[in-house]
Each structure stands twice: as structure tokens, then as C-alpha cells.
């Protein structure tokens, strides 16, 4: 998606900064999100994802810089910005006196849906998120997962031009996660731009057209998941088990391929090859072995995850970064 | 939804009955000659305004509960302007107060009696604005303080001042007799405007502080000031950095 020159930025941040006293929660963020994409904002807790979402949705004001959502400046035209957006908050924000039906019906009403359309959509989405049976229960009595499903339902009913979904599948079971991912994709296919803030690497990977990785309030890197993974030198790993010992000649030929960054011999008949663009290079590797009559017994490929991308750019796993953040907060 | 407030409603109703049946009846026997015979009605009309005020400002406590549940951020993200949001909360709080106090107003009207229906309709309409204004004031203070404890303490003090330095329980002439400063404050007190207007509405026209028109203008000003201040406080205090 990022390669399509016709796509236009629907969100653009310019040195967007939010400070809470001495702490910069978001620090000079410059980001561009294209119309109609699912943009994954990935990072550990405390990286600044939620603060960014809150600024883009005009809930809090930036300390410095600004952002343009649609054609509107979040500082100068917040009312216009809010007409374009819908949010699924990280922590479900339910009107605590009501039932799921009341919460969604009220939300749809405030978003301007006409009575008949509102009832139809509320019913449909409650069914979609498996909350129809529990629609008359008090929100007090709902489990964390059920509350989260009501929260995501707000955005699904609203179908905003720009949807912010903050940790949309936290506390939701695996089947529910896949269902919600499909609904988010469907929302994108119907014309919404989705900004997905998450610390779940797999979720960002499978769902996002592009990913921006945030760390300590800044944007580390931003591109498609594929490009980000390929940006790690030798990020792909191929383990090859041979019938015979590998010769020096074949190893030299492999090393001459520019995509291969390193070859480790596990034992004389097993090699571990670190490379990029695994799909394109594996046929060449196989050809090199077969040419020299070195039959391959098995071949195992693994590609880097977004966690590897995070490690590559920060030197920390996302869990380590999170731990550091918690420790930093505890130390004051 | 209203059942959630049943404890508040029941307690306020008991308080109202106690004030009227015990305090009002007994105190009316102690009052000076000029008020003898009408003080009980005067007091009952005033106590209704006290009730309306105290139930209207209760919305401030809701704000803290909402903040605790994170509802604020949600409300601030909705496709409505800040002005609409504050106005909606104030009006919602005001209507709720009227619903809660409505049966007690009916009891008060039965005790006091009504002579001019039109006057009563005008007075009650203006009292709606008073209830909206009191709700707006409470929301403004709650959002400005962002602390439930401090809000509780401040509202206790404010309640003491705003009720005691008004004509809810005694006419202006007696306040003036005690202190010109007190009388000056009471003259600009929205609770005085509301008390005077309600008494005029039910036909107790002795000892009014001001003309009904001035009282209405005072209430309108009270409503607009706290709506405007409320919007400003919402924007500065909440959007600047959220609730915390």
C-alpha cells in the first residue's frame, strides 16, 4: 500500500509533542497515515501510542506541534476533526449506569444515526461481537472481554472515516480476536482508515498495511511489515540439512550471493544461513547444492518477526522495553 | 437510570419532610410579629429552592464517578462541540433535579397554595434555568478541582454560604438589619433570585427582595456565566492533560 503514489495522507503530524510536566510522552512525532490503510502503531506500554491517539482525536491538546486529521488542524478545528473520527479506547469507556444496548444505542444517537438505521446497526453489531444475548445485562456484570467487545462495537456501528482502535483485542479469546480482526479489515474495505495502536506484535503484523514503531515517545521506523522485516540484515534464517558434508566451493558460492549475510555450520552436514528475501534466494541455494550433487534432506525457513525489527532498532525486546519503562516509572 | 439515585431521592425527601414538619412548624412560632402567620409558607417555598439547588449540584459527584470510569475521555472524543457537551450535561443535571424535586414541589404547592397560575408557570420556567445553572456551576467546580475530597469540602462550605447568605430562610430586610455586607451579597445570590421568584410564583409577595423581572435576569445571567465558564474550564483543565 505504501508504494502507491496515488494515496494521500489523511493524517499528518508535524513535530507533535505532548509533555506531562518534565516527561515527554510524545516527542516531535512526524508521521503520515494514508487514506484507506490500516496503520499499526506499535510499541511497548508507555511508548506514547495512546497519547498520540488522544491528541489526534482532540481529547488532549498537544504541548507543541500539531496534527492534521482529514483537512483539519487538531488545534484550530477540533470540532471538525471529531466529526471524522471514532475511537475504541484501550480501557472500555462505558456509561457505567447502562447496559450494552443502551451504551451502543446512545453512542449511535450522538453520532447522528437515524432511529431505524441505528436500531438495525446496533442489533447487527451486537450479534457480530457475540453480545446480543448479554445486551440487557448491566455493564457492571460484564467480564473484561465482554466490555472490550462493547467498546469495539461502538466504532463498528459508527463506521467513521477514521477509526482509532487502541488494543482492540486485549482480553479477548483467540476466536474473538480473529473475528474482530476480520471486522476491522471489513471496516477498512468499506472506506475507513484504521489506526491500530497495539503492543501485540502478531496483531500488528497480520492486520497492518503499514506499521510505525514507537519508542520513548518517538517514531523509530515506519513502513510495511514486509519491508521492516527485510530491513534487518540477515533477518531471514534458513536451516539446511544435507545428505553429505558441504564443500568449501558450495559455501563460497553461497557467500557470493549478496542477500546472504552469514553462514554458520551447525555440524558438517547442517548449515544455518542468515539472509534477506528468503523467498527469492532459497531456489538459488537449492540449485547450488544440487549442481554439486549435494542432496538436501530437509530445509527449514524462518523469517524475522516485528519483535526482531524492534530489537534491531532498539537493542531491546518489546518486553524488555516495557520492563525498563515500568522500572523507570517506579524509580520516578 | 433514575433508580440508581433512589437513595439520594429517599434521603432528600426525608430531609424535606423533617425540615417542613419539625423545623418549619416550630420556627414559624418563634418569628417576629411581621412574619407571623406567613413564615411557615415563606419557609416551605424557600426550602424547595434549597432542595433544587442541592440536588442540582449533585451532578458534580457524578463527574468524579465518570472520571474514575474513564468516561470523560469518551465524552471528549464524541462529535459534539465542548459548548454542546457542557450545555448537555448542565441541562441533563437540571432536568434530573426537577424530576427528583418535582413531587416535593407539588407538596409545597399544596401547603402554600397557588393564586396566580401564570406567575407560577413563569417562575417554574425560570427555575429550570436556575437548576441548569447550578448544575453547570457544580460541573465547573468539579472539573476545575479534579479532586473528589476537595470538591466535597468546598461544596459543603459553598452550600453553607450560598444558602445562608440568601433569602431562602429569611427575608432581605432582616439580613440588611444584621449586616449591609451580608445584604449586598444576598442581593447578587442566585439562590435569592430563585427564592424570590418562586415565592412570587406562589403568591407570597411580601418581603420580596427585587422585582420578578430582575430575578429572572439574574437567573439567566447565572445560567449563561456558568455555561461559558464551564466550557472554558472543560477545555483548559481537561483537554490540557486529561483528568489526572
How many structural domains is chain A composed of?
2
Nearest to B77 among A20, A82, A96 (CB): A82
Q: CB contact, 8 Å: B1 with chain A? A: yes
Nearest to B79 among A59, A82, A93 (CB): A82
Residue ranges per structural domain of chain B = 2-238
A242 and A186 both lie in a single domain: no
DSSP A113: -
Residue pair A295/A240 in contact by the 8 Å Cβ criterion: no
Residue A211 lies in a domain: yes
A197 and A141 both lie in a single domain: yes
Between A70 and B114, the more confident residue is A70
Nearest to A89 among B73, B78, B79 (CB): B73
Q: CB contact, 8 Å: A233 with chain B? A: no
Per-residue pLDDT tens digits for A193-227: 999 999 888 899 999 999 999 998 999 999 999 89
For residue A224, the model assigns a pLDDT of 94
Q: What CATH number does residue A254 fall under?
A: 3.30.70.100
CA proximity to B54, closest of B124, B142, B125, B158 = B158
Point out the least confidently predicted range of A156-160, A181-185, B38-42. Answer: B38-42
A156: pLDDT strictly greater than 90: yes
Residue A332 lies in a domain: no
A165 and A78 both lie in a single domain: yes
Judge: B240–A110 Cβ closer than 8 Å, yes or no: no
Q: CB contact, 8 Å: B3 with chain A? A: no
For residue B129, the model assigns a pLDDT of 93
Residue A2 lies in a domain: no
Nearest to A83 among B1, B79, B240 (CB): B79
Question: What helix, strand, coil percent values describe chain B, rounded to 5?
Answer: 80, 0, 20
A7: pLDDT strictly greater than 80: no
Interhelix angle for B82-112 vs B59-68, to 10°?
A: 140
A324: pLDDT strictly greater than 90: no
CA distance A207 to A40: 8
Per-residue pLDDT tens digits for B23-37: 777 777 776 666 677
β-strands A64-69, A9-20: how paired? antiparallel
A303: pLDDT strictly greater than 90: no
Q: SS3 for A326?
A: helix
- For chain B, the residue count is 244
Contacts of A91 in chain B (CB under 8 A): 70
Per-residue pLDDT tens digits for A86-138: 999 988 877 666 899 999 999 999 999 999 999 999 999 999 999 999 999 98
- How many C-beta atoms surround the C-beta of residue B28 within 10 A? 18
Domain assignment of residue A296, given as a range: 233-302
Contacts of B4 in chain A (CB under 8 A): 97
A172 and A222 both lie in a single domain: yes
Q: CB contact, 8 Å: A23 with chain B? A: no
* B89, containing H or E segment: helix B82-112
**Whole-complex ipTM:** 0.81
Nearest-Cα distance to chain A for B222, in Å, is 26
The residue in chain A having the minimum alpha-carbon distance to the alpha carbon of residue B236 is A61
CA proximity to B8, closest of B57, B66, B58, B50 = B58
Contacts of B74 in chain A (CB under 8 A): 87, 89, 93
Alpha helices in chain A (DSSP H): 49-56, 78-84, 100-110, 115-128, 144-158, 174-189, 201-207, 225-230, 248-255, 278-291, 306-314, 318-331
A202 and A259 both lie in a single domain: no
Q: CB contact, 8 Å: B177 with chain A? A: no
A296 and A149 both lie in a single domain: no
CA distance B185 to B167: 11
A16 and A41 both lie in a single domain: yes
Residue A317 lies in a domain: no
β-strands A210-215, A218-223: how paired? antiparallel
CA proximity to A171, closest of A141, A210, A142 = A142
Residue A312 lies in a domain: no
Judge: A93–B69 Cβ closer than 8 Å, yes or no: yes
Nearest to B239 among A61, A85, A87 (CB): A61
**Which pLDDT tens digits describe chain B residue by residue (244 residues)?**
455 567 777 887 888 888 878 777 777 777 666 667 788 888 899 999 999 999 999 888 888 888 877 788 888 899 988 888 888 888 888 898 989 999 999 999 998 888 889 999 999 999 999 999 999 999 889 888 888 888 988 998 898 889 989 999 888 888 888 889 999 999 999 999 999 999 999 988 877 888 999 999 999 999 999 888 877 887 777 665 555 5
Maximal C-alpha separation, chain B: 59
For residue A199, the model assigns a pLDDT of 86
Q: Nearest 5°: phi and psi at B10?
A: -65, -45
Contacts of A89 in chain B (CB under 8 A): 70, 73-74
- How many C-beta atoms surround the C-beta of residue A33 within 10 A? 26
Residue A86 lies in a domain: yes
At which of A193, A208, A229 does a domain end? Answer: A229
In a mutational test of the B interface, the residue from A57, A79, A105 whose CB has the highest number of chain B CBs within 10 Å is A79
CA distance A304 to B200: 80
A70 and A82 both lie in a single domain: yes
A331: pLDDT strictly greater than 70: no
- B3's CB contacts (< 8 A; 6+ apart) are none
Contacts of B84 in chain A (CB under 8 A): none
A19 and A107 both lie in a single domain: yes
Per-residue three-class SS string for A155-177: HHHHCCCEEEEECCCCCCCHHHH
A82 and A203 both lie in a single domain: yes
A149 and A205 both lie in a single domain: yes
Alpha helices in A47-96 (DSSP H): 49-56, 78-84
In a mutational test of the A interface, the residue from B75, B241, B242, B244 whose CB has the highest number of chain A CBs within 10 Å is B241
Q: What CATH number does residue A79 fall under?
A: 3.40.50.300
Residue A325 lies in a domain: no
- For chain A, the residue count is 332
Global pTM value? 0.79
Residue A103 lies in a domain: yes
A130 and A215 both lie in a single domain: yes
Nearest-Cα distance to chain A for B153, in Å, is 25
Per-residue pLDDT tens digits for A242-262: 998 888 889 999 989 988 888
Q: CB contact, 8 Å: B71 with chain A? A: yes
C-alpha cell read off for A123: 442489533
At which of A229, A251, A284 does a domain end? Answer: A229
C-alpha cell read off for B162: 450560598
DSSP secondary structure string, B12-57?
Answer: HHHHHHHIIIIIIHHHTTTS-GGGTTTHHHHHHHHHHHHHHHHHHT
At which of A183, A211, A229 does a domain end? Answer: A229
Residue pair A244/A269 in contact by the 8 Å Cβ criterion: yes
Judge: A110–B74 Cβ closer than 8 Å, yes or no: no
Amino acid at each position: 500500500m505504501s508504494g502507491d503514489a496515488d494515496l494521500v495522507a489523511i493524517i499528518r503530524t508535524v513535530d507533535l509533542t505532548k509533555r506531562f510536566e518534565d516527561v515527554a510522552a510524545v516527542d516531535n512525532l512526524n508521521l503520515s497515515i494514508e487514506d484507506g490503510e490500516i496503520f499499526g502503531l506499535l510499541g511497548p506500554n508507555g511508548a506514547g501510542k495512546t497519547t498520540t491517539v488522544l491528541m489526534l482525536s482532540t481529547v488532549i491538546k498537544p504541548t507543541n506541534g500539531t496534527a492534521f486529521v482529514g483537512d483539519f488542524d487538531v488545534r484550530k478545528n477540533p470540532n471538525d476533526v471529531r466529526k471524522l473520527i471514532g475511537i475504541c479506547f484501550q480501557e472500555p469507556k462505558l456509561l457505567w449506569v447502562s447496559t450494552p444496548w443502551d451504551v451502543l444505542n446512545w453512542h449511535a444517537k450522538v453520532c447522528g444515526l437515524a432511529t431505524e438505521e441505528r436500531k438495525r446497526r446496533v442489533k447487527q453489531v451486537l450479534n457480530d461481537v457475540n453480545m446480543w444475548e448479554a445486551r440487557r445485562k448491566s455493564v457492571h456484570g460484564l467480564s473484561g472481554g465482554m466490555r472490550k467487545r462493547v467498546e469495539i462495537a461502538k466504532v463498528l456501528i459508527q463506521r467513521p472515516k477514521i477509526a482509532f482502535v487502541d488494543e482492540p483485542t486485549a482480553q479477548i479469546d483467540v476466536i474473538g480476536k480473529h473475528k474482530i480482526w476480520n471486522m476491522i479489515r471489513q471496516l477498512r474495505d468499506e472506506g475507513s482508515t484504521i489506526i491500530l495502536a497495539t503492543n501485540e506484535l502478531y496483531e500488528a503484523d497480520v492486520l497492518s498495511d503499514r506499521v510505525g514503531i514507537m519508542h520513548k515517545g518517538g517514531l523509530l521506523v515506519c513502513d510495511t511489515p514486509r519491508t521492516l522485516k527485510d530491513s534487518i540484515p540477515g533477518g531471514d534464517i534458513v536451516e539446511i540439512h544435507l545428505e553429505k558434508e558441504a564443500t568449501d566451493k558450495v559455501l563460497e558460492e553461497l557467500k557470493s550471493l549478496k542477500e546472504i549475510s552469514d553462514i554458520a555450520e551447525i555440524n558438517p552436514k547442517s548449515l544455518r544461513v542468515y539472509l534477506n528475501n528468503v523467498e527469492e534466494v532459497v531456489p538459488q541455494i537449492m540449485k547450488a547444492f544440487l549442481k554439486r550433487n549435494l542432496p538436501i534432506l530437509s530445509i527449514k525457513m524462518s523469517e524475522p518477526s516485528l519483535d526482531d525489527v524492534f530489537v534491531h532498532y532498539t537493542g531491546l525486546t518489546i518486553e524488555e522495553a516495557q520492563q525498563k519503562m515500568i522500572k523507570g516509572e517506579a524509580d520516578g | 437510570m433514575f433508580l440508581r439515585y433512589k437513595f439520594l431521592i429517599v434521603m432528600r425527601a426525608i430531609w424535606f419532610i423533617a425540615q417542613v414538619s419539625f423545623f418549619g412548624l416550630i420556627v414559624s412560632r418563634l418569628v417576629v410579629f411581621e412574619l407571623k402567620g406567613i413564615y411557615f409558607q415563606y419557609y416551605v417555598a424557600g426550602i424547595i429552592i434549597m432542595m433544587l439547588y442541592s440536588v442540582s449540584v449533585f451532578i458534580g459527584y457524578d463527574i468524579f464517578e465518570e472520571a474514575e470510569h474513564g468516561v470523560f475521555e469518551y465524552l471528549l472524543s464524541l462529535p459534539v462541540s465542548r459548548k454542546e457537551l457542557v450545555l448537555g450535561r448542565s441541562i441533563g443535571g437540571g432536568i434530573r433535579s426537577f424530576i427528583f424535586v418535582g413531587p416535593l414541589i407539588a407538596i409545597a404547592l399544596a401547603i402554600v397554595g397557588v393564586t396566580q397560575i401564570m406567575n407560577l408557570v413563569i417562575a417554574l420556567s425560570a427555575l429550570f434555568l436556575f437548576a441548569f445553572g447550578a448544575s453547570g456551576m457544580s460541573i465547573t467546580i468539579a472539573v476545575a478541582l479534579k479532586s473528589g475530597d476537595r470538591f466535597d469540602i468546598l461544596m459543603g462550605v459553598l452550600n453553607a454560604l450560598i444558602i445562608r447568605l440568601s433569602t431562602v430562610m429569611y427575608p432581605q430586610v432582616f439580613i440588611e438589619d444584621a449586616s449591609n455586607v451580608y445584604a449586598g451579597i444576598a442581593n447578587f445570590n442566585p439562590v435569592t433570585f430563585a427564592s424570590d421568584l418562586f415565592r412570587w410564583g406562589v403568591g407570597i409577595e411580601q418581603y420580596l427582595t427585587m422585582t420578578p423581572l430582575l430575578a429572572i435576569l439574574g437567573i439567566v445571567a447565572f445560567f449563561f456565566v456558568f455555561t461559558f465558564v464551564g466550557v472554558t474550564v472543560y477545555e483548559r483543565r481537561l483537554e490540557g492533560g486529561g483528568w489526572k
